[in-house]
A and B are shown apart, each in its own frame.
Chain A
Amino acid sequence: MKRPLRPGFQRVLRRELRQIAARPALAFLLGPYPLLLFVLLATVFWAGLPTSLPVAVVDLDRSQISRQITRMVDDTPELTVTAQLPTLAAAKQSLLAGKVYGILLIPEHAERDVLSGTAPEIVTFYNNQMLTVGGIVARATGTAIGTFSVGLSVQMRQARGQSTEDALIGVTPIPIQQSPLFNPALDYTQFLLATVMPTVLHIFICVSAVLCIARDRHSLGGMARLVRLGGTPIRALAGKLVPYGIAGMITLFCADAIIFGTFEAPFLGSLGLHLVYSVLFVATCLSLGALLALVAGDTVAALGLTGVLTAPAFGFAGISFPRFAMNGFSQAWGAMSPLTPYLHLRTDQVVRGADVAVSLPALAWLAALFFLYFGLALWLLARQAQGTGALVPQPAKVTA
C-alpha cells in the first residue's frame, strides 16, 4: 500500500483532482461549457461588422434623382433597401415592427428643387432605441446622401466652368484623414468579442472557486481538516485552487486563440506582459471566488453573491460606456473588479501595442486586488479552521 502523502500543497492538490475526476458535471464546467459559450459568442459576432441592415424608402418624388439617392443608399455595404413604401406612416409601422431600422424620406419635387437651385430636404429617420444599429444606419445613410450631394455640387460647379479638380477641392475644402489608430475596420470582434469572452470566463472562474471552497465548508469541520491536510492555510488554499487556475488559463488562451487565430486580430503589444496579467487575472478571480465562498453562508448563497457581483461587471469595466463618464460610485465599484484592470491592460497591450511602462499602474492595481482578495480569503480560512469544533455551516445569512 502507498504511504499517504505528508500534509502539504501536493496532498491538497491531489485530493482536489480526485474530487474533480469524480464529478463529471464539475469537469464540464471547467472546460467544455465555457468553450461552448465562446463558440456561441464567436458565431454571434461572426460577421464582424453589421452589413445589409434593412431600411425603408419613402420616395414621394419618383424622379431620376430620388432613384439615384435610393440606389446609393442601397449600395452602401451597411444598408439594404428592403421596402419602398408609399407613406411615412407605413414606413413607421414597419420600423415599429422591427422590420427596418431606418427610413429615408425623399420629398416631393426634390428633383425640381435641385434643378431650380433650392436645396430639397432629405430626412432620414433611424431607430435610436437600438443605439448601436441606429448609429450605424444614421452614419451610413448620412454618408451615402452626403456623397450624392458632393457629386451634385461638383457637377454644378463643372457646369459653371470649373475644372474637376477645382470643383472637388471646392466641395470639401477641409478633408479629414480619419484614422482609427487601432481596429481600423471598426470591427466588432475586437471591440466586443475580445472583451465579452474574458468577461464570461471571469464568471466561470469565480464560480469554480466558489464550488471548490464551498464543498469543504459543507462538511463538518471541513475547513479545519483542509488546513490540516495542507499544513498551512496558504498551501491548503493554493492546492485547492491550482487545478481551477490551470483550467482558467487554458480556457482564457482558447479565447485568445479564437481572437488571434480564427478572427486574425493583430496582437501589437508585449507577449510577456500579456502572459503576466492573464495569470494574475485568473488568480485574482479565483481569490475573489474563494473569498465569496468563505463569506457566504452556503453554496447557493455564495453563487448568488458571485452572480450579483460578476454579472454586471462588464458594464462597469468601461468598454461599452467609458469610465470617465461614470459617476464616482461606478468608478469605485468597477475598480474593485478584476475585470476592469484586465480589460484595460488587454486593450493597452493587444489593441494599442502600448509601451510596457504605460501599463504598469493598471498591472499594479490588478496585483493589489489579487493580494487583497487572496489575503482576505486566507485570513477567513485560517479563522474558520481555528474556530469552534462545531463548524456546522450556518444557513445563509448573507443576502443575494
Chain B
Amino acid sequence: MMALIREILAALRALFADAAARSTMIVSILIYAALYPQPYIAEVVRDVPVAVVDLDGSTASRELTRRIDAAESADVAATPTDLPKAQALFFAREVSGIVIVPPHFERDLLNGQAAPIAAYGDAGYFLLYGAMMGAVTSAARSLGAEIQYARLTATGIDPGLAQVLVAPVTITPVALFNPQGGYASYVIPAAFVLILQQTLLMGIGILHAGRKPASGLAMIAAPLAYILLYSLWTLATQMILPVLYGYPRIGVWWHLYAVAIPFLMAVTAMGFALSQLVPQREGVVVLLVVLGLPLFFLSGISWPIESMPAPLHLMAQLVPSTSAMSAFVQLDQMGAGLAAVTDKVLVLLGLATGYTLIALAINWLRTRRLQAASVPK
C-alpha cells in the first residue's frame, strides 16, 4: 500500500516536473475557467436593436412601437422613414431587425379589417432573431387582443364571454431549469466536462506517448494519480465554477462523483490507449486539439441526438464525454436522481473496462516486441 502511495506521488511529481503536462493539466484549465465563460456572462440577450418603419404615424402604430420597445428582449433603436433607410441600418448591423407598419394600419384596425404588419430579421443569428420576433409577436398579440376585446364588448357582448372569445384557452409555458434561459448556464457546465476530458487525454499523451511501456506498480499508480487530480478538478469546475459565475447547480455532490469517477476512469484508460497508439506527444495534442467543437455537437447538449443519424450517435458513445456531458447536466443542473443516469454510468464503466483492456493489450504487445528486440539471438 505504501509502495502504491509512493508511486502515486512519484507520478504526480513527474506531472508537475513536466512543463508541458503542467500547463495542459493545470494552467490551461485555470485559463479556460477564467476565459471560456466571458462571452456569455450577460446570460441573456436584452434590448436587441430593432428599426420600426412607421408608415401610418397614428396613435395605434405609435402604441405598437412603444410596446415593442418596452419588451425586455427588444429596443426600438431607430425609426427610419422608409424601408431602404432601415435596410441600410440593418446591413451596417446597427439594427438586427426591421418592423414595418403599413399606411392605414389604424384605420383598418378600427374598421374591423385585418391590419397586418411585417417583421424582418436575420435568421442566420438564431438568438437575435428569436428575441426580436418574440418581442414583435407579443406586442402585436397584446394590442390585438385589447382591440378585439374592445370591439366585442362594444357590440354588447358581456366582458366574460368576450375574454373567452379572444382566448378560448390559456397557454402557460413554463421553463423547467435554467428559468431565465441563460446562455452561460446552458453552455458552460457541459463545456467544462469536455474541457476536463480533452486536457486529461492530452496530458496523458504528453506524459506517456513515445515512452517505453510501463510495468509493475507504475501501471496502476499513474492512472490513479490522474484520476485523483481530476477528481479535484471536477470539484472545481462542476461545483465552484457555478458559484463563481452564478449559474444554477442543484445536484447532490456524491451523485456527481458517482458519474465523475467512471467518467475519469474511462478518459484515463482512453488516454493510455491513445498514448500508446500515437508515437509522439505532439501527435496526441494535435489529434485532440481540433476535436473539441465536433465532440460538443455530438454530445446532444445543443443539437438533439434524435436529429442525428443513429449510427453516428452510437459511434459517439465511444467517447466518454458524450455520456458524461448529459449525465453531469442532468444531475447538476436539472437535479435528476442517480436513477435517471444509470444507463450513462453503465456506458462509462463499459468504456473504462474496454479502454483499459485495449491499453493493457497494446502495452503487452509493445513490451513483448521490446523484449524480442533487446534479446539477441
Contacts and interface: CB of A to CB of B under 8 A. Distances in A.
A155 to B, nearest CB: 9
Contact of B282 (A49, A96, A125, A300): A300
B254 interface: no
Given A114-B169, A125-B176, A400-B28, A97 B126 contact: no
Contact of A312 (B36, B289, B312): B36
Q: Which of A93, A149, A170, A358 has the most CB of B within 10 A?
A: A170
Given A174-B144, A176-B116, A299-B282, A325 B306 contact: no
Interface stretch (A138-146, A219-227, A238-246, A374-382): A138-146
A273 to B, nearest CB: 14
B4 interface: no
Contacts of A319: 125
A399 B27 contact: yes
A322 B128 CA distance: 7
B330 A145 contact: no
A341 interface: no
Given A46-B309, A303-B286, A126 B303 contact: no
B115 A174 contact: yes
A306 interface: yes
Interface string A160-202: 0000001001111111111111111010101110001001100
Interface in A237-260: none
B167 A129 contact: no
Contacts of B326: 98
B172 A51 contact: no
A124 B172 contact: yes
Contact of B303 (A50, A207, A325): A50
B122 A203 contact: no
B186 A131 contact: yes
A230 B53 CA distance: 60
A117 B340 contact: no
A124 to B, nearest CB: 5
Contacts of A122: 169-172
B160 A400 contact: no
Q: Which of B124, B206, B298, B303 has the most CB of A within 10 A?
A: B124
Contacts of B64: 174
Nearest to A168: B114
A119 B169 contact: yes
Given A170-B151, A175-B114, A146 B171 contact: yes
B294 A37 contact: yes
Contacts of A303: 282, 285-286, 289
Interface string A50-88: 111110000000000000000000000000000000000
Contacts of B116: 174-177
B23 A118 contact: no
Contact of A117 (B114, B141, B160, B289): B160
B181 interface: yes
Interface string B26-64: 011001100110111110111011000000000000001
B294 A119 contact: no
B91 A200 contact: no
A365 interface: no
B113 interface: yes
Interface string A328-357: 011001100000000000011001101100
A334 B181 CA distance: 23
B103 interface: no
Interface string B282-314: 110110011111100110011110111100100
A277 B123 CA distance: 23
B168 A153 contact: yes
The 4 closest A-B pairs by CB, nearest first: A180-B123, A96-B336, A128-B175, A300-B20
Interface of A: 25, 29, 33-34, 37, 40-41, 43-47, 49-54, 92-93, 95-98, 101, 110, 114, 117-135, 138, 141-142, 145-146, 148-149, 152-153, 156-157, 166, 169-184, 186, 188, 190-192, 196, 199-200, 203-204, 207, 211, 297-301, 303-304, 306-308, 310-312, 314-316, 318-322, 324-327, 329-330, 333-334, 347-348, 351-352, 354-355, 358, 395-397, 399-400
12 contacts: A117-B160, A126-B175, A129-B186, A130-B302, A172-B114, A176-B140, A199-B293, A200-B294, A207-B286, A301-B19, A319-B125, A326-B41
Interface of B: 19-20, 23-24, 27-28, 31-32, 35-36, 38-42, 44-46, 48-49, 64, 90-92, 96, 109, 112-130, 133, 136-137, 140-141, 143-144, 147-148, 151-152, 160-161, 163-179, 181, 183, 185-187, 202, 206, 280-283, 285-286, 289-294, 297-298, 301-304, 306-309, 312, 326, 329-330, 333-337, 339-341
Given A44-B298, A125-B174, 20 more contacts: A25-B280, A40-B312, A119-B167, A122-B170, A123-B172, A126-B174, A131-B183, A172-B114, A175-B117, A181-B123, A182-B122, A300-B206, A301-B23, A304-B24, A308-B32, A314-B293, A318-B39, A327-B38, A355-B91, A397-B19
